Amino acid sequence: MEAWGFSLKLLITGASGLFGSKLAQMALARNFEVYSADIQSRTFYGQFVLLDISEKLKVHEAFRSIRPDVVVHAASLTDVDKCEMNKELAWKINVEGTKNIVEAAVETGSFLLYISTDYVFSGRKGSYKETDVPHPINYYGTTKLKAEEIVKAQSEYFIARPSVIYGSAPAAGKVNFALWLIETLQKGERVKIVTDQWNSPTLNTNLAEMILEVIERHLTGIYHLCGATRVSRLEFAQKIADAFGLDKRLIDPTSSSQFTWVALRPMDSSLDTSKAQRALKCKPLGMAEALGKLKLELSQK
């Protein structure tokens, strides 16, 4: 451990998720002492900790028992429409839950890394830098921004903003966009993909590698840790099809107005990764390299 010099105790919340499970798996390979916390036991690596982050006393109890050196807080209600329909639940998990984690981390002197989202931005301009002022247009983004503010009230923190995380394995009972598309096209089924939404899709392995470097070097501040390529959802789908030798003629371009979502979506929430490219040895990957990694991971399953 570059900045630590000992076997490090790492607590991950949301450890059954697409990012959390990959981070735990990779941290174990680096000889971290890993505690995987989640509200239910699904896929996890390391020692499982049953934890509802909205229960303040349980959170403090877990922190006092483990006394983690580092906490990666990835637990969140990420269903954008569910957040819009059940604002009380979204606030309870994303805001109050984060407040509980922050207070417990302060009490135990744990270094806190918070996993936020590109949805803190309005999506009106795209290629957002860390210095751009957030302005969420849905309740999910609002709760994540409020959580960022709670984290930033501490003297030392790290906030990572990824965008559209994907990976080679289903997690927390859900199949991510890339896997869904591959499986659907392999069956020869048609898909409708929007042309008017842009993001910076993030391979979970790349995000986990970057977060591990942040932990080892004890970096602080806000960083956009996502894929280095800005693409529309349609372009992303076409690039996946190309990478896996699938028939992209099965992909039908459509506009977001054809979908009936409860919550508004930012049209262009792509993120500028210049800061991370300058600061990190393990850099945000371009789309071609990330999809190459994804293909390799899937071939090894």
Convert the pLDDT of each residue in 56-106 to its tens digit.
999 999 999 999 999 999 999 999 999 999 999 999 999 999 999 999 999
Give the pair of three-digit tokens for residue 259.
Answer: 């979908």
> What is the C-alpha end-to-end distance of the chain, expressed in Å?
30
Q: Name the CA radius of gyration of the chain, rounded.
A: 19
**Is the pLDDT confidence value at 163 over 80?**
yes
| Largest interatomic CA distance in the chain | 56
Give the pair of three-digit tokens for residue 201.
Answer: 């899709």
Convert the pLDDT of each residue in 267-287 to its tens digit.
999 999 999 999 999 999 999
**Is the pLDDT confidence value at 2 over 70?**
no
Q: Which domains does the chain have, with CATH numbers?
A: 9-168+201-228+270-285 (3.40.50.720)
Q: Please state, in angstroms and rounded to a whole number, the distance separating the CA atoms of residues 59 and 86.
A: 23
Residue 192 pairs in a beta bridge with 252
**pLDDT confidence bin for 155, thresholds 50/70/90:** confident
Q: What is the predicted pLDDT for the residue at 5?
A: 54
Convert the pLDDT of each residue in 17-57 to its tens digit.
999 999 999 999 999 999 999 998 776 799 999 999 999 99
Q: Please state, in angstroms and rounded to a whole number, the distance separating the CA atoms of residues 54 and 296.
A: 38
Q: What angle do CA 26, 30, 34 make, to 5 degrees?
A: 70
The pairing of strands 158-160 and 221-223 is parallel
Q: Please state, in angstroms and rounded to a whole number, the distance separating the CA atoms of residues 1 and 21.
A: 21
Q: What is the predicted pLDDT for the residue at 1?
A: 45
Residue 71 pairs in a beta bridge with 11, 112
Convert the pLDDT of each residue in 218-250 to its tens digit.
999 999 999 999 999 999 999 999 999 999 999
What's the order of all strands across the beta sheet hosting 221-223? 47-50, 33-38, 9-13, 70-73, 111-115, 158-160, 221-223
Q: Tell which wins on pLDDT, 204 or 1.
A: 204
Q: What is the predicted pLDDT for the residue at 259?
A: 82
Convert the pLDDT of each residue in 179-203 to its tens digit.
999 999 999 999 999 999 999 999 9
- Measured in whole angstroms, how far is the alpha carbon of residue 187 from the centre of its chain? 28
Q: What percent of the chain has pLDDT over 70?
A: 97
For the chain, give the number of residues. 301
Task: Identify the helix (H) or strand (E) that includes residue 222.
Answer: strand 221-223
- Measured in whole angstroms, how far is the alpha carbon of residue 263 from the centre of its chain? 19
Q: What angle do CA 89, 92, 96 make, to 5 degrees?
A: 165
Q: How many CB atoms lie within 10 A of CB 88?
A: 7
Alpha helices in the chain (DSSP H): 18-29, 56-66, 80-85, 87-90, 97-108, 139-152, 177-186, 204-217, 233-243, 274-279, 287-299
